[in-house]
Structure 1
Amino acid sequence: MGLILSQEEMWDRSLGGTSDNKQITHWCGNVIYVVIGFLCKVLFRYRVDNRESLRGFHNETGVVVVCNHTSFLDVVFIYLAARCKQWVRLMGRETLFDNAGGLLGQVLSRVGAFPVKRDSADRTAIKRAAAMLKNNELVGILPEGTRRGKGSLAPELHAGAAFIAKMGHAPILPMTVRNAENVKRKGERVRFPKITVEYGDPVLVGDFDFLPKDERLEACTWYAMRECFALSLRVAPEEVDMAALFPNGKDYTSVFQLHEVPRHTTDEVVAAIRRDREEKRRRRAEKEGGAA
């Protein structure tokens, strides 16, 4: 059953995906899903909208799932919304994995999470995430880096999500967890509002090649996060005031007004992936036939 595994062993194993390599054993993740999923269903009556936008990628390609960050519960619902069929490999700050004498890290690792060093270019974490994507796994990232409106740190956008998507040849899928921020407000008692998880449409890193090379990844992450906030606020993306949300970052609103980024559905992206895969097979067969 894989009862004795170090955290690092689990970070480098697959969870789901299409690799034949050893996986993190599923028993712990399944137990946690049943218990936590039941409690969240009873307490928050949560539902998932547009889940087919995620499901359509199953066993076809890896996906970087991005979400705006308002509550600790965000990560719980990012995980729950993908199950039972898929697992999300959540990227979490390194210090979490040492809490409770490493016990929390053991639990997080068993459900697929892996650490990243905050405010640094963590090459090890990036390589792990890219390898997961190439194995057709899901990688969950909160690009703001901290909960909005909680703590002393101001939310900032980090281009890591787009960089990892590019490294792993994967689309980015925006999502939101609506109402989680209302569970516990400062100075108020705990509440149990209805929570809705909603997925948007995929974003492709290649659609931003019209920009200068040094801005493409930042702009792609900015665009994907605007989609997340549009889902959260239930407005059109163009109505989201990103300059107000991220006053210290570059605002790309005027850029995308002048150059509209193509919109895609999951079915369209998957169809393109299949065509590309078939074309590569055909070329390989022709090359092998010519060599014979």
Structure 2
Amino acid sequence: MFYYVLKYVLLGPLLRLVFRPRIEGLEHVPATGAAIVAGNHLSFSDHFLMPAMLKRRITFLAKKEYFTGPGLKGRLTAAFFRSAGQIPVDRTGKEAGQAAIREGLGVLSKDELLGIYPEGTRSHDGRLYKGKVGVAVMALKAQVPVIPCAMIGTFEAQPPGKVIPNLHPVTIRFGKPLDFSRYAGMENEKAILRAVTDEIMYAILSLSEQEYVDQYAAVAKAEEAAAKVEKERKFPRLPIS
């Protein structure tokens, strides 16, 4: 119930007023039945803008950190995501990927829409990064179509680390459903999973027109952080007297 209160009474009208998002290709999202909506991930606001614009309810796999934050802010954030029907996923450890797949398949088994960001994390620089194969596993196991989605302008509206969004035009663009029924029963073949994932990422890239990086976003973030630490070690800042 809280999901629809947010969508139609509280958050939805506010998002439409502030961002005035332009919606393209909404007819590609099926009116009934299970499907995966796979999109790029540029901003924290992506979690709310897409669901607010869709007619159907969509459930996202959200990182566990949104549900375990400390203090009053953490409790409020957790309550918000739980009330909106989002599912926490632990992204650490060997079983993290399997847990996410199980949760996603559970949503699809109810003939609902599942939202997923194949990159696994937000882009820190606005580019599109290599997709993880979990989306392919779920698409093949559940035998459901994948609708590619591009969020355009949300990075400029609310880049990582910014709390109050900028006023910037936003476009949400959906592409034609991708059918992978030709690969039915091949969800354990690594080459097939990579091919399916790459096809999904190419469809997102065609919609978003981002620069593509053939590297996982988490790896790129870690390398940049390590490079920054090394630079500061070699060239420490002098104290200001």
How far residue 204 of structure 1 moved from its aligned partner, in angstroms, is 2.2
Q: Which portions of structure 1, spanning 4 or more consecutive aligned residues, are displaced by more than 6 angstroms?
A: 186-189, 209-212
TM-score (normalizing by structure 2): 0.75
Structure 2 residue aligned with 1:177:
151
Inter-CA distance 223–241: structure 2 relative to 1 (3 Å threshold): farther
Residue matched to 1:237: none
1:90 is matched with which residue? 60
SS at match of 1:90: strand
Aligned to 2:229: none
Q: How does 1:104-119 map to 2 (within 5 A)?
A: 104-119=77-92
Identity of aligned residues (%): 24
* Superposition deviation, residue 207 in structure 1: 3.8
Larger Rg: 1
1:246 maps to what in 2? 214
Q: SS where residue 69 of structure 1 aligns?
A: coil
The amino acid of 1:90's aligned partner reads F
Gaps of 5+ in 2: 218-241
Where does 1:130-169 land on structure 2 (aligned, <5 Å)?
130-150=105-125, 155-169=129-143
Task: Give the whole-Å Cα distance in 1 for the aligned partners of 2:18 and 2:11.
Answer: 10
Secondary structure of the structure 2 residue equivalent to 1:91 = strand
Distance 1:175 1:185, change over 3 A: closer
Quote the offset at 1:109 in angstroms: 1.9
In the alignment, structure 1 segments of 5+ residues that lack a partner are: 1-25, 234-239, 250-292
Task: Report SS of the residue matched to 2:169.
Answer: coil
How far 1:228 moved relative to its partner?
1.0
**Distance (Å, rounded) in 2 between the aligned partners of 1:247 and 1:129:** 24
Of residues 101, 104, 112 in structure 2, which corresponds to 1:129?
104
Q: Does 1:218 align with 2:194?
A: yes
Q: Deviations over 1:96-136 (max 9, x none)?
A: 11123433222212222101221544334322221221211
Asked if 1:45 corresponds to 2:20, the answer is yes
TM-score (normalised: structure 1): 0.63
Q: Structure 1 95/217 Cα, relative in aligned 2: closer, same or farther at 3 Å?
A: same
- Paired residue type of 1:246: D
Mapping for residues 1-40 of structure 1, pairs under 5 Å: 26=1, 28-33=2-7, 34-40=9-15
Contact preservation (8 Å) 1:89, 1:140: yes
Matched, 1:64 2:54: no
Counterpart-to-counterpart distance in 2, 1:139 and 1:68 = 14
Does the CA contact (< 8 Å) of 2:21 and 2:170 recur in 1?
yes
Give 1:275's aligned residue: none
Equivalent residue of 2:147, what SS? strand
* From 207, 210, 213, the counterpart of 1:231: 207
Residue by residue, what CA displacement relative to the aligned partner does 1:52-77 show, whole Å, maximum 9, x if unpaired? 111xx233x21111001111111112
| Structure 1 Cα separation of the partners of residues 188 and 139 of structure 2 | 18
Aligned residues: 208
AA partner of residue 58 (structure 1): A
User: What RMSD in Å do the two structures reach over aligned CA positions?
Assistant: 3.0
Cα contact 2:124–2:160 (8 A) shared by 1: no
